[in-house]
A = this chain, B = another copy of it.
Amino acid sequence: MAFLKVIPLEEALKIINLLPLEAEVEEVHIENALGRTLAEDVKSPINVPPFDRATVDGYAVRSEDTWMASESEPVRLKVIGEINAGEAAEFTLNKGESIYISTGAPLPKGADAVIQFEDVDRENNEVVIYKPAYPALGVMKAGTDVSANKPLLRKGQRLGFKETALLSAVGFDKVRVFKKPRIAVISTGNEIVLPGKRLKYGQIYDINGRAIADAVRELGGESVFLGIARDEKENLRELILKGIECCDIILLSGGASGGMRDLTASIIEELGEVKAHGIAIQPGKPTIIGLIDGKPIFGLPGYPTSCLTNFTLLVAPLIRKLLGGSYEHTTTRKKLAYKVFSVKGRRQFLPVRIEGEKAIPILKGSGAVTSFVEADGFIEVPENVEILEEDEEVEVILFGPFYS
């Protein structure tokens, strides 16, 4: 029988933070970079635009050639050619010359302005200009949008569509991102059945397996749901070994019975080491932290809300860390919608729903599925507190969004 080591939450978080697990890096094509997390700071290797670029269709000129132009005494410049977007032709403008240029094309040498074609007249090979052009009119200078070596994105940043577009804009077709940690998920308990099967009397459908497997994915990890272990040593041991083989982290959620937890602890102690057995919080007493072959294994409570609360408190920080993000909890400050009573001497976490600036406690008992489904996160009621007052400011630890 595994020794019971009940420890404070903070000690559990230290133990987990020290687990021998490092963020790993891989290179992916920009086509597959959406939703991944950057593994390095990114600077722009180039200027955007890389050259002085026309922002209108019109005539590239030396602006000083136009400074005497007026409605009554227009300036006439010779049109010596045409530059289209994407053409590499390298013209040079001399005094008294202009070139027809289309939007996006590079300015010829000597030119410093582009006058819109609507504002001039064209007469054979001359353009007639009625108004002075100032330098840089109709031009986007090289590097004004993004300058070479400008820091663009930070390590640990999640790549949304704006970030992948920015990487594309500066020419990256590959990007170094953190490898998705692979997480094995196992549900346990004789009464638990996979959805789609017919329930026999005394059975209930699996909740935690699906919840944790998908919460891991929303966090940016990869999950492998290995199914349900019966309350029986060989079966559970087999699934744990399968998890060790395929994944970086193993997550079990306990069946309702206490025997299951002892079983889990004793298997971990046989195969590796139990680091903690019980966290001094409610819910969380049944939680186990272990290490097998350098791979963390967590036994989480069976009640869905307790399971998700402990997952969010203990496992989510580790997954975020492996994705180059913060080990800290994701929190927000809200005002409690109504008075909450707790038991003195218990450090309790209560699910809450957020509505505007209010945190609304959901009091259905930890067994209720719907309490975590309705919750956005949970609040702490410290050990020495019996009452949280209405309108008291509380810190909500969020189930999600996992990225902010």
Contact = CB atoms under 8 A, between A and B. Distances in A.
A14 interface: no
A7 interface: no
A194 to B, nearest CB: 7
A256 to B, nearest CB: 3
Interface stretch (A18-26, A68-76, A197-205, A386-394): A197-205
A257 B302 contact: no
Nearest to A366: B55
A386 to B, nearest CB: 22
Contacts of A210: 30, 161, 164-165, 167-168
Interface string A139-162: 010001110000000000000111
Interface residues of A, number: 88
A369 to B, nearest CB: 5
Contacts of A104: 189, 191, 204, 255-257, 302
A300 to B, nearest CB: 13
A368 interface: yes
A204 B171 CA distance: 9
A4 interface: no
A257 B30 contact: no
A218 interface: yes
Interface in A354-404: 364-365, 367-370, 372-373, 399-401
A369 B166 contact: yes
Contact of A160 (B144, B191, B400): B400
Interface string A170-185: 1111100000000000
A61 interface: no
A304 interface: yes
A165 B373 contact: yes
Contacts of A84: 190, 231, 257
Contacts of A212: 161
Contacts of A211: 161-162, 164-165, 168
Contacts of A86: 189-192, 202-203, 231, 255
A87 interface: yes
A302 B86 CA distance: 14
B373 A163 contact: yes
Given A146-B369, A200-B88, A195 B218 contact: no
A196 interface: yes
Contact of A205 (B57, B171, B215, B231): B171
Nearest to A375: B162
Interface stretch (A46-54, A243-251, A322-330, A338-346): A46-54
Give the oligomeric copy count. 2
A209 B145 contact: no
Given A90-B201, A104-B191, A196 B217 contact: no
Contacts of A370: 145-146, 166
Kindly name the residue among A85, A163, A225 whose own CB sees the greatest number of chain B CB atoms within 10 A. Answer: A85
A207 interface: yes
Contacts of A53: 204
A50 to B, nearest CB: 6
Contact of A169 (B49, B85, B207): B207
A304 to B, nearest CB: 7
The 4 closest A-B pairs by CB, nearest first: A173-B196, A104-B256, A86-B190, A165-B211
25 contacts: A30-B195, A34-B218, A50-B199, A84-B190, A85-B191, A85-B257, A88-B201, A102-B259, A104-B189, A104-B204, A104-B256, A105-B256, A145-B370, A161-B211, A161-B218, A164-B210, A167-B195, A169-B205, A169-B206, A171-B197, A171-B199, A173-B194, A173-B195, A173-B196, A174-B196
